[in-house]
Amino acid sequence: MNLPSLGDIKRLRKKVGMTQSELADRAGVSQPLIARIESLDIDPRFSTFKKIYETLQEAEKERINAGDVMHSPVITVKCYQELKDAIEVMRDSDFSQIPVIDKHGVPIGSVCESTIINELDSTTPERIRDKKVEDVMGSCFPTVTPVTDLEVVLGMLEYTPAILVTEKGKLVGVITKHDIMKVAEEK
């Protein structure tokens, strides 16, 4: 078993989002002992250190990341497609928003129902048929990596209808509030 150094305990604890008290409770030790270990004031027994480290490993396994809740494959439209095609894709898939990608599959924008409705208000229905997605698309949904912590995703979803999950610049998944509700339902 490869154990970290004493100096790594604080970093690992923060990575899993635990307080010293939570770690102490779960490991069956006192909070002052955790504080002393983290400040390198004490050299604990091997068995105690191992118990603390194993508790941190278990907490790491319990964490939920973006990759755990995203759905894939992502239904998208390309920026050069006609807007009527995007409307059809959204209607057929029952989505109120959809990411827009470029010819390389990189997310560059979004189309939402409200964007289309605003466009209908400002143009005649005949002219909307001539529009391309890139003519009306809004800004791109925010992106995260598959290992982004769920807490970060939840905070972001307060301000946007969807979050894209990318890996090496390529779109691999999407997370909406609906996906979060499914996770909450399963717990």
Identify the pLDDT of residue 124: 64
Q: How confident is the model at residue 63, as a pLDDT?
A: 78
Q: Could you give the CA distance from residue 153 to residue 58 in angstroms, rounded to a whole number?
A: 22
Task: Assess whether the region 8-63 and the region 67-186 belong to the same CATH fold.
Answer: no
* CATH number for the segment(s) 67-186: 3.10.580.10
The closest of 7, 79, 78 to 37, measured between CA atoms, is: 7
Domain ranges of the chain: 8-63, 67-186
Q: Environment class of residue 175 by beta-carbon count within 10 Å: exposed (0-12), middle (13-18) or buried (19+)?
A: buried
Token output for 121: 């208000």
Predicted pLDDT at 105: 85
Report the phi/psi class of residue 155: left, alpha or beta, with left for phi > 0 and alpha for psi in -120 to 50: alpha
Q: What pLDDT shows up at residue 143?
A: 94
Residue 6 has what pLDDT?
Answer: 81
Residue 158: its pLDDT value, please? Answer: 92
Q: Which CATH superfamily is domain 8-63 in?
A: lambda repressor-like DNA-binding domains (1.10.260.40)
Q: What is the pLDDT of residue 61?
A: 75
Rounded Cα–Cα distance for residues 182 and 169 (Å): 27
- What is the number of other CB atoms lying within 10 angstroms of the CB of residue 14? 11
The pLDDT profile of the chain, 187 residues, written as one tens digit per residue, is 566 788 888 888 888 888 999 999 999 999 999 999 999 888 899 889 989 998 988 887 777 889 988 989 999 999 999 988 999 999 999 988 999 999 888 899 999 988 888 877 666 666 776 789 998 899 999 999 998 988 889 999 999 989 999 998 889 999 998 888 876 666 5
Q: Which residues are bridge partners to 107 per DSSP?
A: 101
Closest CA to 115 of 105, 101, 102, 100: 100
Q: What is the pLDDT of residue 126?
A: 61
